Amino acid sequence: MMWNLLSWYNSEGIPAVDLKPKMLIAKYPNMRAHRENESMDYPRLTICFLFILSLITPQPIFPARCSDSGNYTTNSTYAANLKTLLSSISNSSDLNSDGFFNASFGQNADQVYALALCRGDEEITSCRSCLNDSSQAITKACPNQKEAFLSNKDKCMLRFSSRNILGSMDDGYVAMGFRVDDATDPAQFNEVLGNLLFDLRKRATSGVVRKYAADVVNDTSLSKIYGLEQCTPDISKLDCGKCLDVAMGEITRYASGKVGAAITRYSCVLRFETYEFFQPR
């Protein structure tokens, strides 16, 4: 099973630093990539990553996003504060049953903010394991950088920064990947998928704290379509809807008729497949 990955670019058009998993089998074939700007008119660049996924439980693997907002030195107070904060996430009592964590540590210029979220169907044990792995991987992928984001195999996301990132939607996105396979009847598939995604958006944005929705639709002439949408709990319902609207626009533009796609933005995620990739909860 193959995935194409459209990678994140910063404001200078420089690719984000990539976390290179063992499953990476090819790099830089001719494929479009894009980055988001206010006009929603994305420059097209040629970069793509092809990933082969587990035959049992295939998952999209996204790169780390390393910000160019500033660096810290290895033995600095900021480095020590970051290490303390990251090491506390997976074992923190503040990591509630909804799999969300946000905290800060330090003072003034050395203060570090962190936000972590597990996918809504993850049990607390697997959530802690995912975040523990992410806490170790993120500083390896983005060494000495004051701001970074990591999505760990679609199971959890982790972000830290020297600025307050809590409570407001970030317009940026990390990556979009889509399956190379096309639906047998793309028009009908898109219609059924569109109804599912809009329904999930409505349910995710109606959540008071846990902004998560997942479901499956079954059509007699189509395979089942499984969909999932989730926002970070710290943003408002309105911002959650805006974030998911942009993600759905990405699906229309870049993955129309494809049998699977996943979008990871800073404040929300969206994914659909023709196989079950989440657990009922």
| Cα gap 213→199, rounded to integer Å | 9
Q: Which of 107, 72, 76, 103 is nearest to 89 (CA)?
A: 103
The 10s digit of each residue's pLDDT in 43-62 is 332 223 323 233 233 455 55
| pLDDT value for 4 | 55
- Which pLDDT score is estimated for 170? 84
With respect to residue 140, please indicate whether it lies within any of the assigned structural domains. yes
What are the distances in angstroms from CA 220 to CA 19, 103, 192, 268? 40, 47, 11, 31
pLDDT per position as a tens digit, 177-197: 889 999 999 999 999 999 999
- Let me know: does 191 contact 185? Beta carbons within 8 Å: no
Last residue of a domain, one of 173, 194, 218: 173
Question: Which tokens sit at 43?
Answer: 């420059």
Please give the average per-residue pLDDT across 72-90, as a whole number.
94
Specify the range with the lowest mean pLDDT, choosing from 33-42, 71-80, 121-130, 226-235.
33-42
pLDDT value, residue 85 = 95
- 41-45, 73-77, 104-108, 212-216: segment of lowest average pLDDT: 41-45
pLDDT at 220: 58
Q: Give me the CATH number covering residue 240.
A: 3.30.430.20
- Those residues with Cβ within 8 angstroms of residue 98's Cβ, 6 or more apart along the chain or in another chain: 120, 209, 210, 233
Same domain, 92 and 116: yes
Q: Is there a domain that residue 57 lies in?
A: no
For the stretch 130-155, pLDDT in tens is: 999 999 999 999 999 999 999 987 89
Lowest mean pLDDT among 123-127, 142-146, 206-210: 206-210
| Average pLDDT estimate for 23-39 | 29
Instruction: Name which of 148, 198, 208 is nearest 172 in CA terms.
Output: 148
Which residue intervals of the chain are DSSP H helices?
Answer: 77-89, 124-141, 186-205, 237-254
pLDDT of 201 higher than 90? yes
Name 32's bridge partners: 46
DSSP state of 216: E
Residue 60 lies in a domain: no
Report, as an integer, the average pLDDT of 49-76. Answer: 64
When pLDDT is cut at 50, 70 and 90, the band that residue 26 belongs to is very low
pTM here? 0.79
| Chain CA centroid to CA 227, Å | 15
Q: Which of 164, 163, 166, 132 is nearest to 150 (CA)?
A: 132
Residues 117 and 98 in one domain: yes
Same domain as 169, residue 233: no
pLDDT at 218: 83
Across residues 216-243, what is the average pLDDT? 90
Same domain, 134 and 75: yes
> What's the pLDDT band for 281 if we cut at 50, 70, 90?
low
Is residue 65 within 8 A of residue 174, CB to CB? The reply is yes
Residue 281 lies in a domain: no
At 99, which amino acid appears? G
77, burial (CB in 10 Å: exposed 0-12, middle 13-18, buried 19+): middle
Q: Same domain, yes or no, for 140 and 81? A: yes
Q: Quote the mean pLDDT of the chain.
A: 79
Among residues 157, 173, 189, the one where a domain terminates is: 173
Residue 131, pLDDT score: 93
CB 276, CB 226: distance < 8 Å = yes
Alpha-carbon torsion angle 11, 22, 138, 171, nearest 10: 40
- The 10s digit of each residue's pLDDT in 149-179 is 999 878 999 999 999 999 888 877 678 888 9
| Four-residue CA torsion sign, 266, 272, 275, 280 | positive
Residues 244, 225 within the same domain: yes
Domain that includes residue 22, residue range: 2-52
The single-letter DSSP state of residue 258 is B
Mean pLDDT of 230-244: 95
Residue closest to 196 by CA, chosen among 222, 174, 176, 218: 218
Statement: residue 37 has pLDDT above 50: no
Task: Domain count for the chain, please give it.
Answer: 3
Give the side-chain half-sphere CA count within 13 A for 166. Answer: 13
